Amino acid sequence: EIVMTQSPATLSVSPGERATLSCRASQSVSFNLAWYQQRPGQAPRLLIYGASARATGIPARFSGSGSGTEFTLTISSLQSEDFAIYYCQQSDMWPLTFGGGTKVEIK
């Protein structure tokens, strides 16, 4: 199976600052990469699909980039509601797999 590795595990950022999250695949997943946000006690929410396309209703401060095995989620200016856990997921090959998550916390 394709192993998705996210780094760092925890990212401490001040409100208004930029956050950069990484996701690496153990083999190429082309552009078949999605990012999700999960706030405490809530279900995950789709942020980015196709590596760089924003899902419906997602603010422009969220952006995704990358292809193949290296991907990045950038939050340009962190708002209070952005402090959450972020997961990447590949859909290039069965089984579908998620990364272990990056927790973005308030510095």
Q: Parallel, antiparallel, or unpaired: how do β-strands 19-25 and 70-75 relate?
A: antiparallel
C-beta closer to other proteins: residue 14 or 48? 48
Give me the least distance between CB of 95 and other proteins, in Å please: 5
Q: Which is nearer to other proteins, 14 or 56 (CB)?
A: 56
Which letter does DSSP use for residue 13 in this model? E
Identify the residue whose tokens are 């990447």.
88
Q: 27-54 burial, b if ≥16 CB within 10 A, otherwise e?
A: eebebbbbbbbeeeeeebeebbbebbeb
- Tell me whether residue 14 or residue 94 sits nearer to other proteins (CB atom): 94
Binding site residues, other proteins, CB under 8 A:
1, 30-32, 34, 36, 38, 43-46, 49-50, 55-56, 87, 89, 91-101
Q: Vertex 1, ends 84 and 39: CA angle to 5°?
A: 10
Q: How far apart are CB 29 and other proteins at their closest, in Å?
A: 8
Nearer to other proteins, 16 or 95 (CB): 95
In the complex, the smallest distance separating the C-beta of residue 46 from other proteins, rounded to whole angstroms, is 5
Report the nearest approach of other proteins to the CB of residue 16 (Å): 28
